[in-house]
A and B are shown apart, each in its own frame.
Chain A
Amino acid sequence: KAGVTQTPRYLIKTRGQQVTLSCSPISGHRSVSWYQQTPGQGLQFLFEYFSETQRNKGNFPGRFSGRQFSNSRSEMNVSTLELGDSALYLCASSWGTGLRGTSTDSYNEQFFGPGTRLTVL
């Protein structure tokens, strides 16, 4: 089956602009999580959506927002870009999240997309 896809793969923006990134999860997966990855901060959780509802949010300013559509595709938006927003943005999909009790249960195994490399100039 097809993996997680993210578009665009690369993006160059200038400070003050806004950007929208897209993520198409694996077919059947209802949970989509977004992460920001930078060399100094590692993988930082942005938010998680399940069946069009945001269930969890990380410690990012309100300039970062997202949404999920009925087909589980998700978008994240960053408004008023700052230089520090330059990063690799990864989305990951799973059947769901939270534990279902067994080590062999793949329910919350996260499948990552290739990421969108955002550069803010």
Chain B
Amino acid sequence: AQKITQTQPGMFVQEKEAVTLDCTYDTSDQSYGLFWYKQPSSGEMIFLIYQGSYDEQNATEGRYSLNFQKARKSANLVISASQLGDSAMYFCAMNRFDFGNEKLTFGTGTRLTIIP
């Protein structure tokens, strides 16, 4: 079974500072994908970034980057130059590359609050 752990229930960060949201995972699979989603107060789930287990380079998408450390089974999200609009819940998730069994498993989330 796959498991995602997010140990930071809440974080407060000053605007314009960088922030790292922690995510560790547990799986016996060799092939898997790691995702980060943002959920603002409006409730929608917004995809941010993806990292495949075989990708050698860390994924980046604009201000978002994923610090992937496979040996440590961690997939931390780094947001550079935080903005007020970054205040939201952030969920780490993973799935397996096993056709017919690609269930997406989520962590419990981190509530990020950006302080002006």
- Genuine A/B complex: no
Interface residues of B (CB under 8 A from A): none
